Amino acid sequence: MKKNVSYIIDIAVRYFLLLLIGIFGIQVFHFLFLPLTLYPVFSLLDIFFQASIVSNVIFAGNFPIEIINSCVAGSAYVLLLILNLSIPKIPVKKRILMLFFSFSSFLLLNILRIFFLSLMLISGNSFFDITHKIFWYAGSTIFVVGIWFLSIRIFRVKEIPFYSDIRNIASGKYTKKTKSAKKH
């Protein structure tokens, strides 16, 4: 019975957090990850150019590079968090390590993406527009999928987001009362 209560509490907490993420998630991630994206990109560009920064615009090589919410890709962080929280049977410490790995991996890839796109823009590369559009439409999705599969492999996750919870609930495995011991 204790296992059933523990599972019910676990699922209630995880899905309550998912509800909060649905309401406040993207704005929170944009707020948190804008400076974490902006300043490293600025630092990298400053190595090669006399870069300056005003608000969320980096000036490098006479080009303004504005880091907007879409550049930060808050929805990618939200998706990684949703995938993480929708998996049952992960200890809290392991879940936090998975989140740290996923978020830091995406942040690093995103910083490098913006940096290389900025170099293309500053150098006048004729493929900048198409490269930017490819990254815009497919890049973040590919990054998230790749990071997610790498994360579940590294952390040896066997469950499937959402499906495992639905399967466990539908089977009654954690929602039925256990049979009392036979009387002799």
End-to-end CA distance of the chain: 22
| CA atoms of 51 and 158, how far apart (whole Å) | 46
* pLDDT value of residue 86: 86
Number of other CB atoms surrounding residue 33 within 10 Å: 21
pLDDT in tens, 75-90: 899 999 989 988 888 8
Identify any residues that bridge with 38 across adjacent strands, giving them in sequence order.
none
Residue 110 has pLDDT above 90, yes or no: yes
pTM for this prediction: 0.82
Q: Which two tokens stand for residue 48?
A: 């090669």
